[in-house]
Amino acid sequence: MTTGSAWTRRAAGALVALLAAVLAVLGTAGTASAHGALDSTDPAQGSVVARQPSAVTLTFGEGVTLPAEALRVFDPAGGRVDTGTPDHAGGKAETARVALRGGLADGTYTVAWRVVSADSHPIGGAFTFSVGAPSASAVSAESLQGSTDTDGLIGFLYGTARLAAYAAFALLAGAVAFVLLCWPAGAAARSVQRLLVAGWVALLGSTVVLMMLRGAYEQGGGIAPPADPATAPAHVDLDERIYLVLAARLLLLVVSGVFLVLLVGQSGQPDPEQPERSQARSRTRLRLAGLALAVGLSATWAVTNHSSEGAQVWLAVPVTALHLLAMAAWLGGLATLLSGLRDDLPASAVERFSRLAFVSVAVLVLTGLYRSWREVGSWDALFSTGYGRLLLVKVGLVALMVAAAWVSRSRLARLRTTAGTPVHAAVMAGAPAPDPVEPPQAPPARAALRRSVLAEAAVAVAVLIVTTLLTATSPGRNANAATATAPGPAATAANRAPARTTTVRIPYDTGGTTPSARGTATVELAPAKAGGYAVRVILRDPAGKPAEVPEARLAFSLPARDLGPLQVALRPDGAGRWTGTVPLALAGEWKALLTVRSSDIDMATSTRSFPLGAG
């Protein structure tokens, strides 16, 4: 048995053992609570309260940070009625509260909210509630949805800086790992030194940009300051944790700069007079220092990402850090390998990187399985949510990289074979060619290996882009939770009633003696452009003629959600006709309550349940 095949068998056995350990953890793990989702509101979304509340309170599934404009409340005419600075109710980090002015008139009020979740992402939405009775409103929840999102330019710049940071970390950490573990002499190569400097500078610059853009990213503002300074918020409560983490990353980069100088000095230009044992100790210290810095840098992502909230944080954070380190060792190592293949990279260094890449892929698969289970939550979410679909794209890209790596490994075997010829061996060892007049061409095996590695690196760029998009996308668990717990006009499309007219017929009998004392009411609910439904009530007597009555009242409730009754302000619209509007936004089994008064003393209330938004 060859040494390579023995190593492969040991690696495969270790992979099976690790997979068994992961499966054991997955089998005993509980269901993660949905984080980053709005759990409840007070007043309830879509509710009608008899008296105005003193404050509006929102409760989330995790702790949140409150920007200056975290909660805004608008009256029916569109004026602001909130007062003071948003804070946490009772000091609880998972709540957001803002006080309301006193003496509010009856009508429908709109609440727009924007907070920063514990995994550092801004989330927002809008909903309505009514005081006394619903009314028409100049502010719709849908029109506020844009103001609760991040400014487009800010979002693009912040996302670009985040992508640059991921790519720079992969390049820096992967190049260092390649030098320390695969090609110590590569530290003296100009191409490798350029990669190290490029990774360090890019990570430093992208981190500074992230710190500069973070305030506008959290608060949803534009890149330019307000034209009127008086409109700028006087109080800015930003997510301090992300700033501390970014500052820690900058500090680690300063130390990393010193480390790179030592790496190039000791590995690239070793002292020939220094004993071999002393050189070995120096290499060991460099490896330990490099590992510590890489772990520290990876932790600056892990503690502010999706892994920092939800179930098994104690496990998710180190697993995420390990996932990032494996990604950097593979992707950054590929870039260094590609650069080295243009120089005097020996076949032995390629062989060592092949083993490092195998271990990195194994770690990526195992940690990726755990993170997918934790963040997606179900097979349905894997296909029905944006996060799940992006994850499938990433899996497909990684599979392409593995296929390219397999091709590279087969070409590596041919490179080892051709390396035995004198010319090729001399070229790969860095010795001068026999004929200085006509430089030798790259061996065919080396050129083929370079092409497959280049293809692998190209797919790696796509993997980095998808990874960045995943960090900015709400996990599948959150998306499912938001669909289940976000009622009201700002609810998701899956929770809305479809845009079609619903008709409900309600018989009534007031017990009176007039022709209009009994009959049938036809209630039509047509979707309104501004949200909710336009309501039309048509009363007809037993003969089918319009039934004229002095008063008709209509209300709706949703027992399953404990919503209502939502009173409809009906206006006479001809003989036996009444019109109004109502903010119904949830699909479900609703109940209509119709009250008809046919004389001073004859009055009755009839009810009828009907499905809204079913099918």
Element (DSSP H or E) covering residue 179: helix 152-181
State mean pLDDT over 275-292.
Answer: 85
Q: How many CB atoms lie within 10 A of CB 99?
A: 18
Element (DSSP H or E) covering residue 243: helix 240-263
**pLDDT in the model for residue 67:** 80
**What does the mean pLDDT of the chain come to?**
75
pLDDT exceeds 60 at position 60: yes
- 394: which 2 tokens? 């990433």
**pLDDT in the model for residue 361:** 82
**Least-confidence region, from 92-101, 202-211, 585-594:** 585-594
**pLDDT in the model for residue 453:** 72
- 38: which 2 tokens? 């709005």
**pLDDT in the model for residue 429:** 35
Residue of higher predicted confidence among 235 and 515: 515
Pairing of strands 95-100, 64-65: unpaired
- 535: which 2 tokens? 């309501």
Residue 230: which pLDDT band, with cuts at 50, 70 and 90?
very low
Residue bearing tokens 């091709």: 407
Q: How far is CA 174 from the centre of its chain?
A: 26
**pLDDT in the model for residue 173:** 95
User: What percentage of residues in the chain have a pLDDT greater than 70?
Assistant: 69
> Is the backbone peptide bond immediately before 134 cis, with ω within 30 degrees of 0?
no
pLDDT exceeds 50 at position 486: no
CA nearest to 486, candidates 120, 16, 44: 44
Burial status of residue 89 (CB atoms within 10 A of its CB: 0-12, 13-18, 19 or more) = middle
Ordered DSSP codes for 343-405? TT--HHHHHHHHHHHHHHHHHHHHHHHHHHHHHH-SHHHHHHSHHHHHHHHHHHHHHHHHHHH
**pLDDT in the model for residue 395:** 81
| One-letter identity of residue 66 | L
C-alpha torsion 576→581→587→592, nearest 10: -40
State mean pLDDT over 408-417.
Answer: 62
Pairing of strands 48-49, 122-131: parallel
Residue of higher predicted confidence among 289 and 340: 289
| One-letter identity of residue 178 | F
Residue 584: which pLDDT band, with cuts at 50, 70 and 90?
confident
Contact 493, 142 (CB under 8 A): no
Element (DSSP H or E) covering residue 73: strand 71-74
**Least-confidence region, from 98-102, 165-169, 249-253, 584-588:** 584-588
pLDDT exceeds 90 at position 110: no
State mean pLDDT over 546-575.
Answer: 81
Contact 329, 356 (CB under 8 A): yes
For 193-208, how does the pLDDT look when each residue is reduced to its tens digit (9 = 90+)? Answer: 999 999 999 999 999 9
- 99: which 2 tokens? 């006080």
Residue of higher predicted confidence among 146 and 537: 537
State mean pLDDT over 159-182.
Answer: 92
**pLDDT in the model for residue 169:** 95
C-alpha torsion 399→404→409→415, nearest 10: 180
State mean pLDDT over 446-472.
Answer: 72
Residue 221: which pLDDT band, with cuts at 50, 70 and 90?
low
Q: What pairs with residue 117 in β-bridges?
A: 64
C-alpha torsion 400→401→405→408, nearest 10: 80
**pLDDT in the model for residue 101:** 93
Residue of higher predicted confidence among 4 and 120: 120
**pLDDT in the model for residue 417:** 58
Q: What pairs with residue 100 in β-bridges?
A: 82
Mapping DSSP to helix (H, G, I), strand (E, B) and coil, where does residue 20 land?
A: helix
State mean pLDDT over 301-321.
Answer: 82
Mapping DSSP to helix (H, G, I), strand (E, B) and coil, where does residue 88 land?
A: coil
pLDDT exceeds 90 at position 322: yes
pLDDT exceeds 90 at position 112: no
Contact 473, 575 (CB under 8 A): no
DSSP type of residue 492:
-
State mean pLDDT over 486-510.
Answer: 59
Q: Which residues contact 457 (CB under 8 A, 6 or more apart)?
A: 331, 334, 335, 338
Phi, psi of 56 (to 5 degrees): -110, 130
**pLDDT in the model for residue 168:** 94
- Helix axis angle for 386-418 and 476-485, nearest 10°, is 170
- Give CA–CA dist 607/592, Å, rounded: 5
Contact 116, 64 (CB under 8 A): yes
Contact 486, 37 (CB under 8 A): yes
The highest-confidence range among 195-199, 215-219, 243-247, 486-490, by mean pLDDT, is 195-199
The highest-confidence range among 6-10, 26-30, 166-170, by mean pLDDT, is 166-170
- 495: which 2 tokens? 């929770």
Residue of higher predicted confidence among 295 and 464: 295
User: What percentage of residues in the chain have a pLDDT greater than 90?
Assistant: 18
Contact 289, 259 (CB under 8 A): yes
**Least-confidence region, from 192-206, 383-397, 420-434:** 420-434
Residue of higher predicted confidence among 197 and 143: 197
The highest-confidence range among 136-145, 331-340, 479-488, by mean pLDDT, is 331-340
- 181: which 2 tokens? 């573990």
For 341-350, how does the pLDDT look when each residue is reduced to its tens digit (9 = 90+)? Answer: 777 778 788 8
Burial status of residue 399 (CB atoms within 10 A of its CB: 0-12, 13-18, 19 or more) = exposed
- Give CA–CA dist 27/29, Å, rounded: 6
Residue of higher predicted confidence among 403 and 436: 403
Q: Whole-prediction pTM value?
A: 0.61
State mean pLDDT over 262-267.
Answer: 83
State mean pLDDT over 346-364.
Answer: 85
Mapping DSSP to helix (H, G, I), strand (E, B) and coil, where does residue 24 land?
A: helix
- Give CA–CA dist 266/606, Å, rounded: 89
**pLDDT in the model for residue 471:** 66
E strands present in 228-326: none
State mean pLDDT over 549-563.
Answer: 80
- Give CA–CA dist 169/198, Å, rounded: 10
